[in-house]
Amino acid sequence: MIIPINVPNIDKEEIREVTSVLLEKTLTSSSFEGGKRVQQFEHLLSKFVKSKFAVAVNSGTSALQASLYALDIKSGDEVLVPSFTFVATANSVKAVGAKPVFVDILRENYTMDPDDLRKKITKRTKAIIPVHLYGHVAYMEEIIELAKKNNLKIIEDASQSLGSKFKGKHSGTFSHLGCFSFYGAKVTTSGEGGAIVTDDKNLCEKLKQIRNHGQSKNNLITRLGLNLRLSEINAAVAKIQMKKLSLFLSEKGTQKFLPSFYKIMMLFYQNNAKMKHLTGICTLLLIKIGIK
Ligand SMILES: Cc1ncc(COP(=O)(O)O)c(C=O)c1O
């Protein structure tokens, strides 16, 4: 029996919003500020995490790569990443020509170990990418202190942690730039999608250029850029999902007991093969109750 890790919670509202994009026939926009729904989505995200700005892009990987470009990370630079994360964290560093240097993680929450981080800083180190893995916020106070001492930039990989907080502050908002993914298995999804949050106006402007072929507001090509734009169809789904985020998070809270329940059921199952189906059915029922 296959139990899906995450089934996107899509209903009439997303369908209605995507249908209206199709009827309006503005499927995407190459304007500096992005399409109507892209901007609405950015507004909802920045309001939720309490950042000044949000820039939507087409994936979490694009968010990381755009952030590295915005901080002028390049060949010859080293970027510190945790040794345990999704491969996109290190790939984005390679993609801009820099070298990912791996930092050990802590057993207690699988995030970057500040002690090992200190040991891995060299003359070439330019930035740190802590990852808030599985929703666990990395030890940002210690990481920020080390970054300040060594004049390093921080990009938070908050792809898996939209809605996680430490001392009341949202993941992704502790540092210069915070990156989120809206891939299908994430807390909220637009199928594919990503975003960067920041309080720095200058970085926000740079990111908007980078996502749109390096074009400035007056359509001049002023820097290296790519096509990292989020389409209006994806933004329509992302916008509705953002509105439901608080609800999703409270429902996830009610599912905290699922792993313990599953362990108990597996004990029964090991002793009696007939329990196999019951284990599956009960788990699905609980997921359903937790989600709906
Ligand atoms: C920690 C982490 N970083 C980066 C990414 C990349 O995001 P995306 O798949 O949207 O490119 C993901 C998710 O896939 C992730 O879990």
- Write the CATH number for 176: 3.40.640.10
Cα 20 to Cα 12: distance, rounded to the nearest angstrom: 12
98 and 158 housed in the same domain: yes
Nearest ligand 1 atom to the CA of 131 is 1
Residue-level pLDDT, tens digit, the chain, 292 residues: 787 777 889 999 999 999 999 999 999 999 999 999 999 999 999 999 999 999 999 999 999 999 999 999 999 999 999 999 999 999 999 999 999 999 999 999 999 999 999 999 999 999 999 999 999 999 999 999 999 999 999 999 999 999 999 999 999 999 999 999 999 888 899 999 999 999 999 999 999 999 999 999 988 999 999 999 999 999 999 999 999 999 988 877 666 655 666 666 666 666 666 566 666 665 666 555 544 3
Residue from 5, 59, 61 whose mutation best tests the ligand 1 pocket (most atoms within 8 A of CB): 61
Q: Of the residues 92, 160, 226, which should be mutated to test ligand 1's pocket, given the most ligand atoms within 8 Å of the CB?
A: 160
pLDDT computed for residue 292 by the predictor: 39
Q: How far is the CA of 65 from the centre of ligand 1 (A)?
A: 11
Are both 144 and 91 inside the same structural domain?
yes
**In this structure, are 123 and 234 located in the same domain?**
yes
Is the Cβ atom of 125 under 6 angstroms away from ligand 1? no
**Residue 183 beta carbon below 6 angstroms from any ligand 1 atom:** yes
- 158 and 266 share one domain: no
Residue 4 belongs to a domain: no
Q: For residues 2 and 17, give the distance between their C-alpha atoms in angstroms, rounded to a whole number.
A: 31
Q: Return the ∠ at Cα 134 (arms to 83 and 230), rounded to 5°.
A: 95
Q: How many CB atoms lie within 10 A of CB 168?
A: 6
Statement to judge: residues 281 and 139 lie in one domain: no
Residue 262 inside a domain? The answer is yes
Residues 56 and 150 in one domain: yes
DSSP 3-state of 211:
coil
Number of folded domains that form the chain? 2
- Which residue out of 62, 159, 160 has the highest number of ligand 1 atoms within 8 Å of its CB and is therefore the one to mutate? 159
Same domain, 259 and 230: no
| CB proximity list for 190: less than 8 A, separation 6 or greater | 182, 230, 234, 235, 237, 238, 241
Are 177 and 269 contained in the same domain? no
Residue 157 near ligand 1, beta carbon < 6 Å: yes
Within-domain flag for 49: yes
Distance, CA of 262 to CA of 260 (rounded, Å): 5
Is residue 95 domain-resident?
yes
102/218 same-domain check? yes
**Do 189 and 266 share a structural domain?**
no
Quote the pLDDT of residue 2.
Answer: 81
Q: 110 in a domain, yes or no?
A: yes
Q: Does residue 181 sit in the same domain as residue 274? A: no
Classify residue 285 as exposed, middle or buried by CB count within 10 Å of its CB (0-12, 13-18, 19+).
exposed
67 Cα: distance to centroid of ligand 1 (angstroms): 14
Atom of ligand 1 nearest to the CA of 160: 16
63 domain-assigned: yes
With a CB cutoff of 8 Å and minimum separation 6, the contacts of 280 are 1, 3
User: How many C-alpha atoms does 43 have within 13 Å on its Cβ side?
Assistant: 10
Cα 198 to averaged position of ligand 1 atoms, centre (Å): 18
Any domain includes 48 = yes
Q: Cα of 61 to ligand 1 centre, how many Å?
A: 6
Looking at the domain assignment, is residue 5 inside a domain? no
pTM value? 0.88
Pocket test for ligand 1, best of 68, 132, 181 (most atoms within 8 A of CB): 181
Q: Which domain holds residue 259?
A: 252-288
234 and 265 within one domain: no
